[in-house]
Amino acid sequence: MNYKAKLHDIKAFVFDFDGVMTDGSVWMYADRETVRCGNIKDGYAIQYAVKKGYIVAVISGATSMSINNRMESLGVTQIYTGCANKMQTYRKFLDVNNLKETEVVCMGDDIPDYEIMSHCGVSACPADASVEIKEIADYISFFDGGKGCVRDIIEQTLRLQGKWFHPDAVNW
């Protein structure tokens, strides 16, 4: 089945952070704090999806206040960092939100995302994802991680469901 047909059922988005919402670069400072760079258009799409009633979550192996701060500023409340077992976290996410796997888009970029991407409605990845992830992805974005891939899949989903911005409708 074409991935676009599956987008009709989507109620939630689950994203990895590094390599999906960022380009994977991490600036390391002497005090051990790390800095990441995200994309403002990805951020707009995330907060827009939240405002439209979609559940948005981050499941990441990384732990950093910068991840929490960024996601909280966009209205994301389901932020799971430091996940050694992403599948276990994903199962809890599904249970807590009373979601079926078919109602979730999962976007990841590397091997730690493989298992959850194998158990969702639509698996997506950035253009620069690892070979293993590209092989199982229903959709490979034309955009790299941190360069618009998050907006790409959110916008496609919301457009298909008639919930994306339309100049003739007041939907702010």
Classify residue 171: in a domain, yes or no.
Answer: no
Classify residue 155: in a domain, yes or no.
Answer: yes
Per-10-residue mean pLDDT of the chain, 172 residues long, equals 94 97 87 84 98 98 91 97 96 98 98 98 98 98 98 98 83 50
Classify residue 26: in a domain, yes or no.
Answer: yes
Residue 151 near residue 45, CB atoms below 8 Å: yes
Classify residue 55: in a domain, yes or no.
Answer: yes
Q: Where are the alpha helices (DSSP H) in the chain?
A: 3-6, 40-51, 65-73, 86-96, 114-117, 131-136, 149-160
Q: What is the CATH number of the domain that holds 61?
A: 3.40.50.1000
Domains held by the chain: number: 1
Residue 170: what pLDDT?
Answer: 58
CA separation for the pair 2, 76 (Å, rounded): 29
- pTM of the predicted structure, to 2 decimals: 0.94
CA separation for the pair 9, 107 (Å, rounded): 16
Residue 92: what pLDDT?
Answer: 97
Classify residue 17: in a domain, yes or no.
Answer: yes
Count of alpha carbons within 13 Å of 121, Cβ hemisphere only? 21
Secondary structure class of 43 (helix, strand, coil): helix
